[in-house]
């Protein structure tokens, strides 16, 4: 057990940490987390390995207790020998934090993304020192009962898949802030940053409603419009981390202006500000928040119903654009603005039908209602994936 600046770090000596594994072992663990339990034959097929080579990799993992045979084999009826392999996720703990403009949401989760504890802080301001101190406080609070292998932080901005620097976060007013290094110095825990919509998508894929789906998108509506894309089992980031810049796509020839001055872009209809101002201004009310907006629509207020109808149209055009380009069979909707669907769904469905290419297949559109803890859980999953895909020893910044 090590005391690192007040953070109690316990490690079981007999189970290796994920970042200590070699590339082959990490690939096995990754496949089991993504799609396990898996028979040895299926695992060998997925990893393009021979059975003998796979046995060589899995034997020490079985001996150490990192993976085990599932007690009730489900595939024997299909004639595959031996019990499927499964990762014992409980030995590996991660903390994930979602940073909004004025709050922190945190979870402690195991390697499979199962949440063990949650935490929350209200930020007094968005100064770097304040945010770092509050995250460290949360880590101290939540890290005591188990070993924390990595910390993941999800927040808005232009970050690569596993980043160390916050770029272009307009909500905090941050750019080029080396948040991961600051947190590593304060906690002693390897830390990685991710765009928040992409982190949410990672959690949805790993152990949420996207589990078992190889291709889908997560489209979020709230303070902004966010997008995460999974293609062929991979969460896309792109060479500069900029995959998913869909929020200012034009969806209408008319409509309100967004904060950047676009008329008829998706954000001008879909963001929380667009909704609340779109309703509040014509009604002469300054007290309209999202809950009020939903209540007004529920009560049949014509202005609110029109705003949500327009928002639904914008959402539908975005979904059709996504599916036309990427051929995605499923789109998962999330975010705190999701309550709009109660009144926006008919116009969303109509816009999808209108804008979908005649040769495209209509996607299934699923609403995933969750709080910001789910975004934090995604950040914890990103931390785990980081250790399995791109271990921190490769980053000179974290040395
Ligand atoms: Zn715009």
* CA 103 to ligand 1 center in whole angstroms: 25
Answer yes or no: do 311 and 166 share one domain. Answer: no
Same-domain status, 393 and 312: no
Q: How far is the CA of 217 from the centre of ligand 1 (A)?
A: 21
**What CATH number corresponds to the domain at position 361?**
3.30.420.40
How far away, in angstroms, is 134 Cα from ligand 1 center? 33
Query: Residue 161 CA to chain centroid, in angstroms?
Result: 11
Say if residue 197 is in the same domain as residue 328.
no
What is the distance in A from the centroid of ligand 1 to the CA of 231? 26
Instruction: Find the 265 Cα to ligand 1 centroid distance in Å.
Output: 5
Does 93 score more than 80 pLDDT?
yes
Distance separating alpha carbons of residues 319 and 312, to the nearest angstrom: 10
Distance 249 CA to ligand 1 centre (A): 7
State the distance from the centre of ligand 1 to the C-alpha of 239, rounded, in angstroms: 24
What is the whole-number distance in angstroms between the Cα of residue 333 and the centre of ligand 1?
Answer: 20
pTM of the entire predicted model: 0.90
pLDDT digits (tens, 9 = 90+) for 118-138: 999 999 999 999 999 999 999
8 domain residue, yes or no: no
- Is residue 5 assigned to a domain? no
CATH number at residue 48: 1.10.10.10
Q: Is 2 among the domain residues? A: no
Q: What is the mean pLDDT of residues 268-296?
A: 97
Total domain count for the chain?
3
The Å distance, Cα 269 to ligand 1 centre, comes to 9
The helix or strand, by DSSP H or E, that contains position 342, with its residue range, turns out to be helix 341-355
Q: Tokens 């969750």 identify what position?
A: 370
The upper half-sphere exposure of residue 270, i.e. CA atoms within 13 Å in the direction of its Cβ, equals: 32
Using an 8 Å Cβ cutoff, are 397 and 160 in contact?
A: no
70-79, 177-186, 238-247, 343-352: least confidently modelled range? 70-79
223 CA → ligand 1 middle, Å:
13
Q: Which of 71, 90, 109 is the last residue before a domain boundary?
A: 90
Please say if the pLDDT value at position 1 is more than 60.
no
Q: Which domain-ending residue is among 62, 90, 118?
A: 90
How close is the Cα of 260 to the center of ligand 1, in Å?
A: 5
| Residue at 3 is within a domain | no
- 9 assigned to some structural domain: no
356 and 220 in a common domain: yes
pLDDT score for 72: 55
| Span from the CA of 351 to the centroid of ligand 1 (angstroms) | 19
Q: How far is the CA of 264 from the centre of ligand 1 (A)?
A: 7
Is the domain of 239 the same as that of 334?
yes
> How far is the centre of ligand 1, averaged over its atoms, from the C-alpha of 218 (Å)?
20
Co-location of 73 and 101 in the same domain: no
* Residue 146 resides in a domain: yes
Q: Which pair of tokens denotes residue 348?
A: 């969303």
Do 159 and 215 lie in one domain? The reply is no
Distance of CA 182 from the midpoint of ligand 1 (Å)? 33
Q: Which residues contact 280 (CB under 8 A, 6 or more apart)?
A: 286, 287, 288
CA-based Rg of the chain, rounded to a whole angstrom? 22
Give the pairing type, strands 330-334 and 216-221.
parallel
Residue 234 in domain: yes
Average pLDDT of the chain?
Answer: 91
| Mean pLDDT within 288-297 | 97
| Cα–ligand 1 centroid distance for 220 (angstroms) | 16
Give me ligand 1 centre to Cα 246, in Å. 10
* Whether residue 26 is found in the same domain as residue 132: no
Distance CA 136, CA 118 (A): 14
Instruction: State pLDDT tens for residues 135-164.
Output: 999 999 998 655 899 999 999 999 998 999
Residue 52, in any domain of the structure: yes
Q: Are residues 236 and 312 in the same domain?
A: yes
- What residues make up the domain containing 262? 211-367
How far apart are the CA of 170 and the centre of ligand 1, in A? Answer: 14
Residues 132, 103 share a domain: yes
Tell whether 128 and 139 lie within a shared domain: yes
Q: Are 143 and 186 in contact (CB under 8 A)?
A: no
Q: Are 284 and 245 part of one and the same domain?
A: yes
Q: Say yes or no to pLDDT of 245 above 50.
A: yes
Render 276-310 in DSSP notation, one character per residue: HHHHHHHHT-S---HHHHHHHHHTT-HHHHHHHHH
Residue 2 has pLDDT above 50, yes or no: no
Q: How far is the CA of 154 from the centre of ligand 1 (A)?
A: 23
End-of-domain residue from the set 31, 63, 90: 90
Per-residue model confidence as pLDDT tens digits over 250-274: 999 998 999 899 999 999 999 999 9
Centre of ligand 1 to C-alpha 5, Å, is 44
Task: Report the separation in Å between the CA atom of 159 and the middle of ligand 1, taken as the mean of its atom positions.
Answer: 20
SS3 186: helix
295 Cα: distance to centroid of ligand 1 (angstroms): 27
User: Residue 160 has which token pair?
Assistant: 């690569």
- Which residues make beta-bridge pairs with 8? 3
């Amino acid at each position: 057990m090590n005391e690192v600046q007040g953070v109690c770090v316990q490690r079981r000596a007999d189970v290796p940490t994920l970042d200590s594994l070699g590339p082959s072992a990490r690939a096995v663990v990754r496949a089991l987390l993504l799609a396990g339990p898996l028979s040895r034959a299926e695992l060998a097929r997925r990893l393009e390995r021979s059975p003998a080579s796979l046995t060589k990799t899995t034997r020490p993992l079985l001996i150490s207790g990192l993976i085990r045979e599932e007690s009730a084999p489900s595939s024997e009826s299909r004639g595959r020998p031996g019990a499927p392999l499964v990762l014992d996720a409980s030995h590996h703990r991660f903390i994930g934090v979602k940073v909004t403009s004025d709050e922190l949401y945190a979870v402690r989760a195991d390697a499979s993304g199962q949440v063990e504890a949650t935490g929350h802080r209200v930020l007094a301001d968005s100064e770097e020192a304040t945010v770092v101190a509050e995250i460290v406080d949360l880590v101290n609070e939540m890290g005591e009962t188990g070993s924390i292998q990595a910390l993941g932080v999800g927040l808005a901005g232009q970050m690569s898949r596993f980043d160390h620097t916050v770029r272009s976060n307009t909500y905090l007013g941050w750019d080029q802030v080396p948040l991961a290094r600051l947190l590593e110095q304060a906690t002693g825990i390897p830390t990685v940053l991710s765009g928040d919509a992409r982190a949410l998508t990672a959690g949805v894929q790993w152990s949420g409603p996207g589990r078992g789906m190889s291709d889908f998108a997560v489209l979020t509506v709230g303070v902004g419009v966010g997008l995460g894309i999974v293609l062929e089992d991979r969460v896309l980031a792109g060479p500069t981390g900029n995959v998913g810049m869909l929020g200012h796509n034009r969806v209408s020839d008319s409509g309100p202006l967004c904060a950047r001055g676009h008329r008829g872009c998706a954000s001008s209809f879909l963001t929380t500000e667009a909704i609340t101002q779109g309703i509040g201004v014509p009604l002469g009310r300054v007290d309209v928040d999202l809950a009020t907006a939903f209540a007004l629509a529920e009560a049949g207020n014509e202005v609110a119903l029109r705003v949500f109808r327009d928002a639904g149209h914008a959402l539908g055009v975005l979904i059709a654009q996504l599916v036309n380009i990427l051929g995605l069979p499923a789109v998962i909707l999330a975010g705190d603005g999701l309550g709009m669907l109660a009144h926006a769904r008919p116009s969303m469905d109509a816009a999808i039908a209108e804008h979908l290419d005649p040769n495209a297949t209509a996607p299934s559109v699923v609403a995933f209602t969750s709080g910001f803890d789910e975004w934090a859980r995604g950040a914890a999953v990103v931390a785990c994936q980081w250790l399995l895909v791109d271990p921190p020893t490769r980053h000179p910044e974290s040395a």
